[in-house]
Structure 1
Amino acid sequence: MKKNAKRLLHAYGELLGIIFKEAPIMVILTFITAILLGLITPLSVYTNSHIFNDGLSVAKGELAFKQYIPFLVLFFFLEILPPVLSSIFLYGYVESRSVLILRTALRGKMLQKIKKMKYEHFENEQSVEIIDKAYNRAENSARHMFPLYVVRTLSAIIASIGSLSYLASVRWWLLLTVLLPFFLESWWIMKHNYNIYDELETYWNREHSYTILGGMLQKRQYLRENKLFQATDFLIDIYKERLHGRNKEYEKFYLRHLKQNFTADNLTKFAPIINILLLLMLFIQGEVNVGLFISLSLLMFGSIYHSLEGSTVLFSASGYHINFFNYYDKYFSLSEEEQEGIQDVPEKVSIEFRDVWFRYPNTEQDILKGLSFKIEAGEKISVVGENGEGKSTMIKLLLGLFAPDSGEILINGKPLLSYSCQSRGHIFGTVFQDFIRYSITAKENVIIGDIDNASKERYQEAVRKAKAEQFIEGLAEGSSTLLGRDFDGGVDISGGQWQRIAIARAFMGDKPVLILDEPTSQLDPIAESSLYNEFSEMSEEKTTIFITHRLASTMITDRIFVLSDGRIAESGSHESLISRNGIYANMFESQKKWYQQESACNE
Structure 2
Amino acid sequence: MILEKRVYTIFDLIKLSFKVAPTLAVVILVSRLMVALSGPALIVVTAHFINTSLAVVNEAVSPEQMVLPIVVLGLLSFLRQVVNVSNKYIKSKFLIQTRLSYRVELVEKRGKLAYRYIEDPDTYDLIKRITDSADTQIIDQYQNVLSLIDITIQVAGILIILLVNVWLVAPIIVLFSAPAFYFGAKAGKTVYEAERDVSKVERKAVYLAEVSSGRDAVLERTLFGYGDKVTRELWNRFEYVRVHKQAARKKTDTQLAISGMLTVVTAGSVMLVLLQPVATQLISVGLFISLTTASISLSNTLGGWLPNVLSKFTKDVEFLKELSQFAQLEEVEDALLSPHSTDFIFEKLVFKQVSFTYPGTEKKILDNVSFEIKPGKHYALVGENGAGKTTVIKLLTGQYLNYKGDILLNGKELKEYSSSDLKSVFSIAYQDFAKYQLSIRENIEIGDLESTTDDRLFKAISDFKLTDLINKLPKGVETSLGKITEDGVDLSGGQWQRIALARTIMNPAPIKILDEPTAALDPMSESRLYEQFEQIMEHTTSLFISHRLGSIKLADEILVFDKGTIIEQGRHTSLMAQKGKYALMYQSQLEWYKKDESEVKADA
Report the TM-score, using the length of structure 1 for normalisation: 0.89
The residue number in structure 2 matching 1:463 is 461
Superposed CA offset, 1:477-511 (max 9, x none): 22222111133332212222211110111111332
Q: Deviations over 1:240-288 (max 9, x none)?
A: 2122223333344455677655444432221111111112233333433
Deviation at 1:309, TM superposition (A): 9.4
- 2:39 maps to amino acid: T
Q: In 2 relative to 1, CA 304–261 (structure 1 residues): closer, same or farther, beyond 3 Å?
A: closer
Aligned mates of 1:97, 1:347 — CA distance in 2: 50
Q: Given residue 11 of structure 2, which amino acid in structure 1 is its aligned partner?
A: L
Specify which of 161, 165, 175 is matched with residue 170 of structure 2.
175
Residues 170-319 of structure 1: matches in 2 within 5 Å?
A: 170-186=165-181, 195-254=190-249, 262-303=257-298, 306=301, 317-319=312-314
**Equivalent residue letter for 2:9:** R
Aligned residues: 593
After superposition, residues 341-356 of structure 1 pair within 5 angstroms as: 345-356=343-354
Instruction: Select 1:335's aligned residue among 330, 334, 337.
Output: 330
2:8 & 2:594 partners in 1: Cα distance? 73
2:142 is the counterpart of 1:140 = no
Instruction: Give the % identical residues.
Output: 28
Deviates further, 168-177 or 194-203: 194-203
Q: Distance in 2 between matches of 1:588 and 1:223?
A: 36
SS in 2 for 1:32: helix
**Distance in structure 1 (CA, Å) of the matches to 2:354 and 2:106:** 33
How has the CA–CA distance of structure 1 residues 434 and 598 changed in structure 2, closer, same or farther, with 3 Å as cutoff?
same
Cα distance between partner residues in 2 of 1:116 and 1:74: 56
CA contact (8 A) 1:465 1:538 kept: yes
Question: In structure 2, the residue corresponding to 1:544 is in which secondary structure?
Answer: strand
> Which of the numbers 105, 108, 119 marks the counterpart of 1:109?
105
Tell me: CA distance 1:264–1:35, structure 2 relative to 1, closer, same or farther (3 Å): closer
The CA distance in 2 between the partners of 1:598 and 1:155, in whole Å, is 76
Q: How does 1:446-457 map to 2 (within 5 A)?
A: 446-457=444-455
Residues 518 and 547, structure 1, Cα contact 8 Å, conserved in 2: yes
Q: Take 1:563 and 1:191, find their aligned partners in 2: how far apart are those partners? A: 56
Residues 447-485 of structure 1: CA distance to partner in whole angstroms, max 9, x if unpaired? 211223334444344334333344334422222221111
When the two chains are superposed, the root-mean-square deviation of aligned CA atoms in Å is 3.1
Q: Which runs of 5+ in 1 are unaligned?
A: none
Q: Which runs of 4+ in 1 moved over 6 A?
A: 188-194, 307-316
The answer (yes or no) to whether the contact 1:578–1:584 under 8 Å persists in 2 is yes
The separation in 2 between residues aligned to 1:509 and 1:294, in whole angstroms, is: 79
Structure 1 residues 496 and 34: alpha-carbon distance in aligned structure 2, compared to 1, 3 A threshold:
same
1:130-178 CA deviation, whole Å, 9 max, x = no partner?
Answer: 32122123223212123x2243234334333332232223212221222
For residue 89 of structure 1, what is the aligned residue in structure 2? 86
Assess if the C-alpha contact under 8 Å between 1:152 and 1:310 holds in 2: no
The CA distance in 2 between the partners of 1:356 and 1:225, in whole Å, is 42
Contact 1:121 1:127 in 2 (8 A): yes
The letter of the residue matching 1:179 is V
1:128 to 120, 124, 138: 124
Q: Is the 8 A contact 1:194 1:257 kept in 2?
A: no
Deviates more, 1:256-265 or 1:464-473: 256-265
Number of the residue aligned with 2:581: 583
**Using a 3 Å threshold, how does the CA distance of structure 1 residues 476 and 321 change in structure 2: closer, same or farther?**
farther
Deviation at 1:218, TM superposition (A): 4.6
Where 1:303 maps in the other structure, the secondary structure is helix
Counterpart-to-counterpart distance in 2, 1:338 and 1:520? 32
Scaled by the length of structure 2, what TM-score is found?
0.89
Instruction: Determine the C-alpha separation between the residues in 1 that align with 2:260 and 2:364.
Output: 54
Tell me the alpha carbon deviations over residues 16-74 of structure 1, each in whole angstroms, 9 at most, x when there is no partner. Answer: 12211xxx2x3333222112211332232234334444444555555554543544444
- Residue 10 of structure 2 aligns with which residue? 8
Structure 1 pair 406/248, CA: closer, same or farther in 2 (3 Å)? same
Q: Contact conserved, 2:439 with 2:480, CA < 8 A, in 1?
A: yes
* Worse-superposed segment, 590-599 or 251-260: 251-260
Residue range with higher mean Cα deviation, 418-427 or 71-80: 71-80
1:323 matches 2:318: yes
Aligned match of 1:35: 33
User: Equivalent residue for 2:404?
Assistant: 406
Where 1:599 maps in the other structure, the secondary structure is: helix
Structure 1 window deviating more from structure 2 (491-500 vs 209-218): it is: 209-218
Q: What code does the residue aligned with 1:557 have?
A: A
Query: How far apart in 1 are the matches of 2:45 and 2:528?
Result: 89
**Which structure 2 residue ranges, 5 or more long, are not aligned?**
1-5
Residue aligning to 1:502: 500
Q: 1:573 aligns to what?
A: 571
Q: Which amino acid aligns with 2:369?
A: L
Q: Partner of 2:3 in structure 1?
A: none
